Amino acid sequence: MKVKVLYFASIREKLGRDAEEIELPAEVATVASLRSHLRSRGGAWEDALAEGKLLRAAVNQDMSQPTAAIKAGDEVAFFPPVTGG
Amino acid sequence: MKISIQKEDFDLGVEVKAISGNPKIGAVASFIGLVRDVEMTLEHYPGMTERAIGGIVEEARTRWQVMDCSVIHRYGVLKPNDQIVLVAVASGHRGDAFAACEFIMDYLKTRAPFWKKEWSAGGARWVEAKDVDDKAAERWR
């Protein structure tokens, strides 16, 4: 299935990209499994999305837990904890 | 209910007037956040930002009497003393106006997708999220 993935702030800078469309294998069906799928690209991906790193994710523009399901056509975003206001 | 994510500055007087028209309104509470010390660039997630703040305002309306409100957050390059954020809430009485204003601000700090990058002589650095902001938001649970 195909999903759109967005990256913001320090994550975007480390990865050198702000968005991409990815074709995912069937077993990648949650936010956490997408994160580890991306991490397996190695290099900057392994660092920016490292397991211990405090990250937030949104699915279709709603703040979501690592266990949240993703499906074809979804927009998934990864970013650091927010610092507005 | 106005929610605006914009580069331009805003005017408190104009915003307060815009939400105070209803003669049943007896109180308006407002908060303005300013840039402290250093120049910064504010980035946000267009679409999700408006949606997240809209959800926060809706939640405030379930808890207090919010007859109207205005939430404005700027992005882009901001300099020391520039206005960053405005929350103004109009209600029948001050208790609801004060509480809703503080609630919206506390939730915005921890749930709206904005990120600050500060620029100083030493270079640029992304601001880290603070525990104290999480604690401020948890008080309202």
A2-54 pLDDT, tens digit per residue, is: 999 999 999 999 999 999 999 999 999 999 999 999 999 999 999 999 988 99
CA atoms within 13 A on the CB side of B70: 20
CB contact under 8 A, B115 and A8: yes
CA atoms within 13 A on the CB side of A43: 5
Among B132, B136, B135, B116, residue whose Cα is nearest residue B124 = B116
Helix, strand, coil shares of chain A, percent, nearest 5, are 25, 30, 45
Q: Does ipTM exceed 0.90?
A: yes
CB contact under 8 A, B109 and A10: no
What is the mean predicted confidence (pLDDT) over B101-121? 96
- Residues in chain B within 8 Å Cβ distance of A84: 42, 44, 73, 84-85, 108-109, 112-116
Measure the CA–CA gap between A84 and A82, rounded to whole angstroms.
6
Using the Cβ of B127 and the Cβ atoms of chain A, whether some distance falls under 8 Å is answered with yes
Which residue in B48, B85, B114 is closest to A83 by CB distance?
B114
Q: Which residues contact A13 (CB under 8 A, 6 or more apart)?
A: none
Residue of A nearest to B113 (CA): A82
- Tokens 């399901």 sit on residue: A69
Neighbour tally for B92: CB within 10 Å? 16
Amino acid at B52: A
Q: What is the pLDDT of residue B52?
A: 98
Could you tell me the pTM of the whole model?
A: 0.95
Using the Cβ of B34 and the Cβ atoms of chain A, whether some distance falls under 8 Å is answered with no
Q: What is the pLDDT of residue B122?
A: 87
